[in-house]
Structures are given as structure tokens and as C-alpha cells.
Amino acid sequence: MNTALYDIPLKRINGDDASLGDFRGKVVLAVNVASKCGLTPQYEGLEKLHAEYGGQGLVVAGFPANDFAGQEPGSDGEIEAFCKTTFGIRFPMFAKIVVTGAQKHPLYDALTKAQPSATAPAGPSFRDKLKNYGIAPNPEPELLWNFEKFLLNRKGDVVQRFSPDMTPDDPVLVAAIKAELAK
């Protein structure tokens, strides 16, 4: 059991103290999110995953971050309102954090160390897509962009990481979630 990961202090988007230990015994999909990103529509798919598999023990956990092109400029209150009114988000959202670089939150430091590279969908890599937009991608193990996903098993171990362009309904991601829920 990864008690170290469970013990990292977090804040809910409303300011309440929290940790991933609140979800002990559940399968967690931790996602760095942003509300002004081309990938923001993934919120809809993440909420569908939460609704469909929550009863079986899945928790989607959203971590707003403004690390990529200023795509999450809002306050926690503005982010929460956007998520609820635009996408009807009911899964747990956390206070905005830093997910890359020297000021990276301890949670994302632990996640990226535990799983330094991501599974990606077939086709051109997201890294190459960023380069085509003139954006120098972060080197591994840093996150590439918003909506990178980390799957934690019921013991709190990071078992898989998915690239930003791996949509919540991608069969590979869904199969990984179902496999962990079945354990």
C-alpha cells in the first residue's frame, strides 16, 4: 500500500484539507485539468467515467493547473463554477496546483516519479503535435500538457499513465480502469 502517496496533503477546491488517503480502497484517476484548453471537452468524458464506474469504486480526481500556456487562469471559485455549470462536474476537484518544474506539487512529483512515461493513442504523438505548434515539449518524466491521467490501484500505487490526448472514452484507458476495478 502506498501510504506515502496517500499522506501527501492536498486542498479541495473549496479549501478543505484532503489527501488521496480519503479514497483509500478506491481506484483513482488523477487528472491535471484546465478550463481554457483545446482538451477541456475531456471534462465531459471524465464525468461520464465517474458516473458510470463510481459505484464500482472509481474516483476521478481533478487537479487544476495553470502550467501550460496560461490555460487555467481562474481562481479556485471560478474553476469550480465553470466545471459545474459547463460540464456538471460532480467528481472531486482540488485546489489549483503546479504540476511541472521546480515548484511542482509533491503529489505530481510522486506521480511522475512512479510512472515516468505515458501510454498514448495510436497516431502522431502528442509530443510531435506540440512541436508542430511551435511548443517545446517538456522532457520525460514531466507532464506534456493538460489532461494527463494517472491511474492508481486500490492500494494507492500508480499503475499506469496516459497522455493528454488519450480521451476518457479510449478503449485502452477504459480497459485499464475496468481491470483495476475487478481486482
- The set of cell numbers assigned to 68 is 501550460
Give 99's contacts (C-beta < 8 A, 6+ positions apart): 32, 63, 65, 67, 105, 108, 143
Residue 37 falls in the annotated catalytic set? yes
Instruction: Give the CA count within 13 Å in the CB-facing half-sphere of 69.
Output: 17
Strand boundaries in the chain, DSSP class E? 10-11, 17-18, 27-33, 58-64, 149-152, 158-162
C-alpha 93/C-alpha 161 separation (Å) is 19
Give me the catalytic one of 18, 27, 28, 37. Answer: 37
Catalytic residues: 37
